[in-house]
Amino acid sequence: MTDAPPFALAELYPVPGIRCATVEAGVRYQNRRDLVLFELAEGTHTAAVFTRNAFCAAPVQLARRHIESDQPRFWLINTGNANAGTGAHGLSQCRHTCNALAQAASVPEWTILPFSTGVIGEALPAERIAAAIPAALQGLKTDGWQDAAWGIMTSDSKPKGVSFQIEVAGTRYTFTGIAKGAGMIRPNMATMLAFVATDMAVEPSLLQAILHEAVEKSFNRITVDGDTSTNDSCVLAATGAAGNALVSERHSELAVALATAVDRVMLDLAQQIVRDGEGATKFITVQVEDGASIEECCEAAYTVAHSPLVKTAFFASDPNWGRILAALGRSGIADLDVNKVEVWLNDVRVCWLGGLDPSYQESMGAEVMKQKDILVRLVLGRGPYLDRVYTCDFSYDYVKINAEYRS
Protein backbone atom coordinates (compact mmCIF):
# COMPACT_ATOMS: atom_id res chain seq x y z
CA MET A 1 0.00 0.00 0.00
CA THR A 2 2.99 2.28 0.28
CA ASP A 3 3.67 2.08 -3.46
CA ALA A 4 1.65 3.84 -6.17
CA PRO A 5 -1.79 2.18 -6.35
CA PRO A 6 -2.49 -0.02 -9.41
CA PHE A 7 -6.03 1.38 -9.74
CA ALA A 8 -6.71 5.12 -9.86
CA LEU A 9 -10.09 6.63 -9.15
CA ALA A 10 -11.48 9.39 -11.29
CA GLU A 11 -10.67 12.83 -9.93
CA LEU A 12 -11.93 13.44 -6.42
CA TYR A 13 -12.34 17.17 -5.86
CA PRO A 14 -11.13 18.58 -2.56
CA VAL A 15 -14.01 19.85 -0.43
CA PRO A 16 -13.23 23.26 1.07
CA GLY A 17 -13.25 22.89 4.84
CA ILE A 18 -12.04 19.26 4.79
CA ARG A 19 -8.50 17.92 5.10
CA CYS A 20 -7.50 14.27 5.36
CA ALA A 21 -4.46 12.06 5.85
CA THR A 22 -3.71 8.36 5.44
CA VAL A 23 -0.85 6.76 7.38
CA GLU A 24 0.54 3.43 8.58
CA ALA A 25 -0.42 2.31 12.08
CA GLY A 26 0.27 -1.44 11.80
CA VAL A 27 -3.20 -2.32 13.06
CA ARG A 28 -3.10 -5.77 11.46
CA TYR A 29 -0.48 -5.72 8.71
CA GLN A 30 2.84 -4.00 8.21
CA ASN A 31 3.58 -1.70 5.28
CA ARG A 32 -0.08 -0.84 4.83
CA ARG A 33 -1.65 2.59 5.25
CA ASP A 34 -4.49 1.59 7.52
CA LEU A 35 -5.36 4.75 9.47
CA VAL A 36 -7.34 7.60 7.93
CA LEU A 37 -7.99 10.96 9.58
CA PHE A 38 -10.46 13.61 8.39
CA GLU A 39 -10.34 17.11 9.83
CA LEU A 40 -13.55 19.13 9.58
CA ALA A 41 -13.39 22.93 9.74
CA GLU A 42 -15.04 24.56 12.72
CA GLY A 43 -18.71 25.21 11.97
CA THR A 44 -19.12 22.04 9.89
CA HIS A 45 -22.39 20.18 10.40
CA THR A 46 -22.39 16.37 10.26
CA ALA A 47 -25.25 13.89 9.82
CA ALA A 48 -24.83 10.15 10.37
CA VAL A 49 -26.57 6.79 10.24
CA PHE A 50 -25.28 3.59 11.82
CA THR A 51 -25.81 -0.16 11.77
CA ARG A 52 -28.89 -1.72 13.37
CA ASN A 53 -26.94 -4.85 14.28
CA ALA A 54 -27.47 -5.54 18.01
CA PHE A 55 -23.75 -6.37 18.34
CA CYS A 56 -22.72 -2.95 17.05
CA ALA A 57 -19.02 -2.26 17.37
CA ALA A 58 -17.44 -0.11 20.06
CA PRO A 59 -16.73 2.77 17.63
CA VAL A 60 -20.37 2.79 16.56
CA GLN A 61 -21.51 3.01 20.18
CA LEU A 62 -19.09 5.84 20.88
CA ALA A 63 -19.76 7.71 17.62
CA ARG A 64 -23.50 7.69 18.37
CA ARG A 65 -22.86 9.27 21.77
CA HIS A 66 -20.40 11.84 20.46
CA ILE A 67 -22.55 13.09 17.59
CA GLU A 68 -25.42 13.65 20.01
CA SER A 69 -23.13 15.82 22.15
CA ASP A 70 -21.54 18.17 19.64
CA GLN A 71 -20.66 18.74 16.00
CA PRO A 72 -17.60 16.62 15.09
CA ARG A 73 -14.20 18.07 14.24
CA PHE A 74 -12.49 14.79 13.28
CA TRP A 75 -13.33 11.39 11.81
CA LEU A 76 -10.81 8.70 12.80
CA ILE A 77 -10.93 5.45 10.79
CA ASN A 78 -8.87 2.29 11.18
CA THR A 79 -8.93 -0.86 9.07
CA GLY A 80 -7.80 -4.38 9.94
CA ASN A 81 -9.76 -4.58 13.19
CA ALA A 82 -13.50 -4.02 13.66
CA ASN A 83 -13.34 -3.63 17.46
CA ALA A 84 -16.69 -5.45 17.57
CA GLY A 85 -17.61 -8.20 20.01
CA THR A 86 -14.98 -6.81 22.35
CA GLY A 87 -17.16 -5.69 25.29
CA ALA A 88 -16.08 -3.10 27.82
CA HIS A 89 -12.42 -3.48 26.84
CA GLY A 90 -13.26 -2.54 23.26
CA LEU A 91 -15.01 0.63 24.40
CA SER A 92 -12.02 1.50 26.57
CA GLN A 93 -9.63 1.01 23.66
CA CYS A 94 -11.81 3.12 21.39
CA ARG A 95 -11.91 5.90 23.98
CA HIS A 96 -8.12 5.66 24.23
CA THR A 97 -7.70 6.42 20.52
CA CYS A 98 -10.18 9.30 20.68
CA ASN A 99 -8.46 10.73 23.75
CA ALA A 100 -5.05 10.51 22.07
CA LEU A 101 -6.35 12.46 19.09
CA ALA A 102 -8.19 14.96 21.29
CA GLN A 103 -5.02 15.76 23.22
CA ALA A 104 -2.86 16.01 20.11
CA ALA A 105 -5.35 18.24 18.27
CA SER A 106 -6.48 20.24 21.33
CA VAL A 107 -10.17 19.48 20.86
CA PRO A 108 -12.74 17.85 23.17
CA GLU A 109 -12.86 14.05 22.96
CA TRP A 110 -16.57 14.11 22.08
CA THR A 111 -15.86 16.03 18.85
CA ILE A 112 -14.19 12.92 17.39
CA LEU A 113 -16.14 10.22 15.57
CA PRO A 114 -14.30 6.86 15.55
CA PHE A 115 -14.83 4.18 12.87
CA SER A 116 -13.32 0.70 12.54
CA THR A 117 -13.52 -2.10 9.97
CA GLY A 118 -11.89 -5.51 9.79
CA VAL A 119 -11.90 -8.71 11.82
CA ILE A 120 -14.59 -9.05 14.52
CA GLY A 121 -13.82 -10.25 18.04
CA GLU A 122 -10.18 -9.23 18.35
CA ALA A 123 -8.79 -6.58 20.70
CA LEU A 124 -8.04 -3.24 19.07
CA PRO A 125 -4.33 -2.32 19.25
CA ALA A 126 -5.14 1.18 20.48
CA GLU A 127 -1.52 2.04 21.31
CA ARG A 128 -0.48 1.55 17.69
CA ILE A 129 -3.25 3.85 16.52
CA ALA A 130 -2.38 6.46 19.14
CA ALA A 131 1.27 6.32 18.11
CA ALA A 132 0.35 7.06 14.49
CA ILE A 133 -1.90 10.04 15.24
CA PRO A 134 0.89 12.70 15.21
CA ALA A 135 1.91 11.60 11.72
CA ALA A 136 -1.73 11.74 10.60
CA LEU A 137 -2.16 15.27 11.94
CA GLN A 138 1.05 16.37 10.27
CA GLY A 139 -0.03 14.78 6.98
CA LEU A 140 -3.43 16.45 6.69
CA LYS A 141 -4.02 17.92 3.25
CA THR A 142 -6.93 19.10 1.14
CA ASP A 143 -6.31 16.66 -1.72
CA GLY A 144 -6.05 13.46 0.35
CA TRP A 145 -9.34 11.84 -0.72
CA GLN A 146 -7.69 9.38 -3.16
CA ASP A 147 -5.36 8.07 -0.47
CA ALA A 148 -8.24 7.88 2.01
CA ALA A 149 -10.28 5.74 -0.41
CA TRP A 150 -7.41 3.24 -0.44
CA GLY A 151 -6.82 3.49 3.29
CA ILE A 152 -10.34 2.39 4.32
CA MET A 153 -10.33 -0.78 2.20
CA THR A 154 -10.36 -4.33 3.60
CA SER A 155 -11.46 -7.11 1.23
CA ASP A 156 -12.32 -4.59 -1.48
CA SER A 157 -10.58 -5.17 -4.79
CA LYS A 158 -10.61 -1.48 -5.66
CA PRO A 159 -11.28 1.88 -3.99
CA LYS A 160 -14.68 3.50 -4.33
CA GLY A 161 -15.28 7.19 -4.77
CA VAL A 162 -17.40 9.76 -6.55
CA SER A 163 -16.99 13.50 -6.96
CA PHE A 164 -18.73 16.28 -8.88
CA GLN A 165 -19.68 19.93 -8.73
CA ILE A 166 -23.01 21.64 -9.26
CA GLU A 167 -23.92 25.27 -9.80
CA VAL A 168 -26.96 26.88 -8.23
CA ALA A 169 -27.78 30.60 -8.60
CA GLY A 170 -24.23 31.35 -9.71
CA THR A 171 -22.45 29.55 -6.85
CA ARG A 172 -20.53 26.31 -7.36
CA TYR A 173 -20.76 23.54 -4.77
CA THR A 174 -18.58 20.45 -4.43
CA PHE A 175 -19.70 16.94 -3.46
CA THR A 176 -17.12 14.21 -2.82
CA GLY A 177 -17.53 10.81 -1.21
CA ILE A 178 -15.68 7.56 -0.62
CA ALA A 179 -16.88 4.18 0.62
CA LYS A 180 -15.63 0.70 1.38
CA GLY A 181 -17.38 -2.62 1.33
CA ALA A 182 -17.38 -5.85 -0.65
CA GLY A 183 -18.67 -8.51 1.74
CA MET A 184 -20.95 -8.65 4.80
CA ILE A 185 -23.20 -6.35 2.82
CA ARG A 186 -26.87 -6.01 3.54
CA PRO A 187 -26.48 -2.75 5.34
CA ASN A 188 -29.98 -2.15 6.76
CA MET A 189 -28.92 1.50 7.20
CA ALA A 190 -25.93 2.35 5.08
CA THR A 191 -22.88 0.69 3.68
CA MET A 192 -20.03 -0.70 5.75
CA LEU A 193 -18.30 2.68 5.75
CA ALA A 194 -19.07 5.80 3.72
CA PHE A 195 -17.75 9.34 4.10
CA VAL A 196 -19.31 12.15 2.09
CA ALA A 197 -18.83 15.91 2.24
CA THR A 198 -19.99 19.12 0.61
CA ASP A 199 -19.01 22.77 1.08
CA MET A 200 -22.66 23.87 1.22
CA ALA A 201 -23.97 25.34 4.48
CA VAL A 202 -26.90 23.23 5.70
CA GLU A 203 -28.99 23.25 8.88
CA PRO A 204 -28.23 20.05 10.86
CA SER A 205 -31.75 18.58 11.06
CA LEU A 206 -32.29 19.09 7.32
CA LEU A 207 -28.92 17.50 6.59
CA GLN A 208 -29.89 14.47 8.70
CA ALA A 209 -33.26 14.11 6.97
CA ILE A 210 -31.70 14.30 3.51
CA LEU A 211 -29.05 11.72 4.46
CA HIS A 212 -31.66 9.34 5.88
CA GLU A 213 -33.78 9.53 2.72
CA ALA A 214 -30.77 9.10 0.43
CA VAL A 215 -29.56 6.05 2.37
CA GLU A 216 -33.00 4.46 2.17
CA LYS A 217 -32.89 4.65 -1.64
CA SER A 218 -29.28 3.55 -2.04
CA PHE A 219 -27.37 1.71 0.69
CA ASN A 220 -30.60 0.23 2.05
CA ARG A 221 -31.28 -1.27 -1.36
CA ILE A 222 -28.10 -3.28 -1.86
CA THR A 223 -27.01 -6.75 -0.83
CA VAL A 224 -23.99 -8.90 -1.56
CA ASP A 225 -24.60 -11.73 0.90
CA GLY A 226 -27.45 -10.69 3.19
CA ASP A 227 -25.19 -10.08 6.20
CA THR A 228 -25.55 -6.81 8.12
CA SER A 229 -22.18 -5.69 9.50
CA THR A 230 -21.55 -4.74 13.11
CA ASN A 231 -19.74 -1.60 11.94
CA ASP A 232 -21.89 -0.03 9.19
CA SER A 233 -21.60 3.75 9.29
CA CYS A 234 -22.38 6.53 6.84
CA VAL A 235 -21.63 10.19 7.53
CA LEU A 236 -22.35 13.36 5.58
CA ALA A 237 -20.61 16.66 6.35
CA ALA A 238 -21.56 20.15 5.20
CA THR A 239 -18.71 22.58 5.86
CA GLY A 240 -20.40 25.84 4.78
CA ALA A 241 -17.18 26.96 3.12
CA ALA A 242 -19.02 27.89 -0.10
CA GLY A 243 -20.40 30.89 1.74
CA ASN A 244 -24.10 30.40 1.01
CA ALA A 245 -26.85 31.32 3.45
CA LEU A 246 -27.69 28.37 5.69
CA VAL A 247 -30.07 26.01 3.88
CA SER A 248 -32.99 25.29 6.19
CA GLU A 249 -36.13 25.44 4.05
CA ARG A 250 -36.85 21.95 2.69
CA HIS A 251 -38.40 23.02 -0.61
CA SER A 252 -36.01 25.83 -1.50
CA GLU A 253 -34.06 25.64 -4.75
CA LEU A 254 -30.82 24.96 -2.90
CA ALA A 255 -32.34 22.26 -0.68
CA VAL A 256 -33.74 20.43 -3.71
CA ALA A 257 -30.35 20.63 -5.43
CA LEU A 258 -28.69 19.35 -2.26
CA ALA A 259 -31.03 16.36 -1.94
CA THR A 260 -30.57 15.47 -5.61
CA ALA A 261 -26.79 15.63 -5.30
CA VAL A 262 -26.70 13.54 -2.11
CA ASP A 263 -28.97 10.93 -3.73
CA ARG A 264 -26.56 10.79 -6.67
CA VAL A 265 -23.49 10.35 -4.46
CA MET A 266 -25.03 7.65 -2.29
CA LEU A 267 -26.49 5.60 -5.14
CA ASP A 268 -23.21 5.75 -7.07
CA LEU A 269 -21.20 4.56 -4.05
CA ALA A 270 -23.76 1.86 -3.21
CA GLN A 271 -23.64 0.46 -6.72
CA GLN A 272 -19.83 0.52 -6.71
CA ILE A 273 -19.94 -1.69 -3.62
CA VAL A 274 -22.20 -4.24 -5.31
CA ARG A 275 -20.04 -4.27 -8.45
CA ASP A 276 -17.06 -5.01 -6.21
CA GLY A 277 -18.88 -7.69 -4.22
CA GLU A 278 -16.48 -10.40 -3.11
CA GLY A 279 -15.91 -12.59 -6.16
CA ALA A 280 -18.72 -10.89 -8.11
CA THR A 281 -18.89 -11.22 -11.89
CA LYS A 282 -22.44 -9.88 -12.53
CA PHE A 283 -24.33 -6.76 -11.43
CA ILE A 284 -28.01 -7.60 -11.00
CA THR A 285 -30.97 -5.28 -10.47
CA VAL A 286 -34.07 -7.00 -9.06
CA GLN A 287 -37.05 -4.76 -9.80
CA VAL A 288 -40.49 -5.59 -8.43
CA GLU A 289 -43.39 -3.82 -10.15
CA ASP A 290 -47.14 -3.49 -9.63
CA GLY A 291 -46.91 -4.28 -5.93
CA ALA A 292 -49.52 -3.46 -3.31
CA SER A 293 -46.94 -1.48 -1.26
CA ILE A 294 -43.32 -0.38 -1.31
CA GLU A 295 -42.67 -2.73 1.61
CA GLU A 296 -43.81 -5.86 -0.22
CA CYS A 297 -41.92 -4.84 -3.36
CA CYS A 298 -38.75 -4.41 -1.33
CA GLU A 299 -39.20 -7.67 0.59
CA ALA A 300 -39.85 -9.63 -2.61
CA ALA A 301 -36.82 -8.08 -4.29
CA TYR A 302 -34.58 -8.87 -1.32
CA THR A 303 -35.82 -12.47 -1.12
CA VAL A 304 -34.82 -13.06 -4.73
CA ALA A 305 -31.56 -11.12 -4.38
CA HIS A 306 -30.54 -13.12 -1.28
CA SER A 307 -31.26 -16.57 -2.71
CA PRO A 308 -27.98 -18.53 -3.04
CA LEU A 309 -29.62 -20.67 -5.74
CA VAL A 310 -30.53 -17.59 -7.77
CA LYS A 311 -27.11 -16.01 -7.27
CA THR A 312 -25.17 -19.14 -8.26
CA ALA A 313 -27.35 -19.57 -11.35
CA PHE A 314 -26.37 -16.06 -12.44
CA PHE A 315 -22.71 -16.90 -11.92
CA ALA A 316 -23.11 -19.97 -14.14
CA SER A 317 -25.06 -17.91 -16.74
CA ASP A 318 -27.83 -20.48 -16.30
CA PRO A 319 -31.35 -19.10 -17.09
CA ASN A 320 -32.89 -21.26 -14.37
CA TRP A 321 -35.92 -19.01 -13.93
CA GLY A 322 -37.61 -21.56 -11.68
CA ARG A 323 -35.24 -20.50 -8.90
CA ILE A 324 -36.42 -16.89 -9.25
CA LEU A 325 -40.05 -18.01 -9.19
CA ALA A 326 -39.48 -20.16 -6.11
CA ALA A 327 -37.80 -17.31 -4.23
CA LEU A 328 -40.63 -14.94 -5.11
CA GLY A 329 -43.16 -17.51 -3.93
CA ARG A 330 -41.60 -17.70 -0.44
CA SER A 331 -41.18 -13.94 -0.03
CA GLY A 332 -44.21 -13.68 2.24
CA ILE A 333 -46.62 -11.80 -0.05
CA ALA A 334 -50.11 -12.56 1.24
CA ASP A 335 -52.62 -13.87 -1.32
CA LEU A 336 -50.23 -13.60 -4.24
CA ASP A 337 -52.11 -14.45 -7.44
CA VAL A 338 -49.47 -16.42 -9.33
CA ASN A 339 -51.53 -16.25 -12.50
CA LYS A 340 -50.81 -12.52 -12.70
CA VAL A 341 -47.07 -12.80 -12.22
CA GLU A 342 -44.60 -12.03 -15.00
CA VAL A 343 -40.84 -12.62 -14.87
CA TRP A 344 -38.52 -10.79 -17.26
CA LEU A 345 -34.77 -11.10 -17.84
CA ASN A 346 -33.85 -7.77 -19.42
CA ASP A 347 -36.34 -7.49 -22.32
CA VAL A 348 -37.09 -11.22 -22.46
CA ARG A 349 -40.34 -12.33 -20.82
CA VAL A 350 -39.81 -15.78 -19.33
CA CYS A 351 -42.91 -16.28 -17.21
CA TRP A 352 -46.47 -15.21 -18.09
CA LEU A 353 -49.83 -16.08 -16.51
CA GLY A 354 -48.03 -18.10 -13.85
CA GLY A 355 -46.16 -20.33 -16.30
CA LEU A 356 -43.63 -20.38 -19.11
CA ASP A 357 -44.21 -17.71 -21.75
CA PRO A 358 -45.16 -19.57 -24.97
CA SER A 359 -42.75 -17.43 -26.99
CA TYR A 360 -39.79 -18.05 -24.68
CA GLN A 361 -36.87 -20.22 -25.74
CA GLU A 362 -33.97 -21.31 -23.53
CA SER A 363 -31.46 -19.71 -25.90
CA MET A 364 -33.05 -16.30 -25.30
CA GLY A 365 -32.54 -16.54 -21.54
CA ALA A 366 -29.03 -17.92 -21.96
CA GLU A 367 -28.06 -14.92 -24.08
CA VAL A 368 -29.21 -12.52 -21.36
CA MET A 369 -27.42 -14.43 -18.62
CA LYS A 370 -24.07 -14.02 -20.36
CA GLN A 371 -24.22 -10.26 -19.85
CA LYS A 372 -22.48 -8.43 -17.00
CA ASP A 373 -25.46 -6.19 -16.14
CA ILE A 374 -28.84 -7.90 -15.84
CA LEU A 375 -32.29 -6.57 -14.95
CA VAL A 376 -34.73 -9.01 -13.36
CA ARG A 377 -38.28 -7.63 -13.51
CA LEU A 378 -40.98 -9.23 -11.39
CA VAL A 379 -44.46 -7.93 -12.24
CA LEU A 380 -46.97 -8.82 -9.51
CA GLY A 381 -50.19 -7.34 -10.87
CA ARG A 382 -51.32 -6.19 -7.41
CA GLY A 383 -51.02 -2.39 -7.32
CA PRO A 384 -49.13 0.76 -8.36
CA TYR A 385 -45.88 0.42 -6.41
CA LEU A 386 -42.33 -0.32 -7.58
CA ASP A 387 -39.02 -0.84 -5.81
CA ARG A 388 -35.65 -2.30 -6.69
CA VAL A 389 -32.64 -3.92 -5.02
CA TYR A 390 -29.09 -4.16 -6.37
CA THR A 391 -27.08 -7.34 -5.92
CA CYS A 392 -24.43 -9.56 -7.51
CA ASP A 393 -23.82 -13.23 -8.21
CA PHE A 394 -22.07 -15.80 -5.99
CA SER A 395 -18.86 -17.20 -7.45
CA TYR A 396 -16.23 -19.68 -6.29
CA ASP A 397 -14.13 -16.71 -5.19
CA TYR A 398 -16.73 -15.55 -2.66
CA VAL A 399 -16.19 -18.75 -0.69
CA LYS A 400 -12.42 -18.55 -1.08
CA ILE A 401 -12.20 -14.91 0.03
CA ASN A 402 -14.31 -15.48 3.14
CA ALA A 403 -12.74 -18.82 4.00
CA GLU A 404 -9.31 -17.16 4.03
CA TYR A 405 -10.40 -13.80 5.50
CA ARG A 406 -8.42 -14.09 8.74
CA SER A 407 -5.29 -15.58 7.20
| Catalytic residue check, 191 | yes
Catalytic residue among 191, 198, 223, 303: 191
- Label residues 60-98 b or e (16+ Cβ within 10 Å = b): bbbbeebbeeeebbbbbbbbbbbbbebeeebbebbbebb
C-alpha span between 61 and 322 (Å, rounded)? 43
Q: What one-letter code names the amino acid at 340?
A: K
Strand 112-119 with 373-379, pairing? unpaired
Would you mind telling me the total number of residues written for the chain in this entry?
407
Angle at 298 between CA 295 and CA 304, to 5 degrees: 140
User: Cβ neighbours of residue 62 under 8 Å, at least 6 residues apart?
Assistant: 91, 94, 95, 98, 114
C-alpha span between 134 and 399 (Å, rounded)? 39
DSSP string covering 340-386, please?
G-EEEETTEEEEETTEE-TT--HHHHHHHHTSSEEEEEEE--S-SEE
- CA 148 to chain centroid, in Å, comes to 15
Strand stretches in 129-282, DSSP E = 160-168, 171-180, 193-198, 233-238
How many Cβ atoms sit within 10 Å of the Cβ of residue 172?
A: 10
Give me the active site residues, please: 191
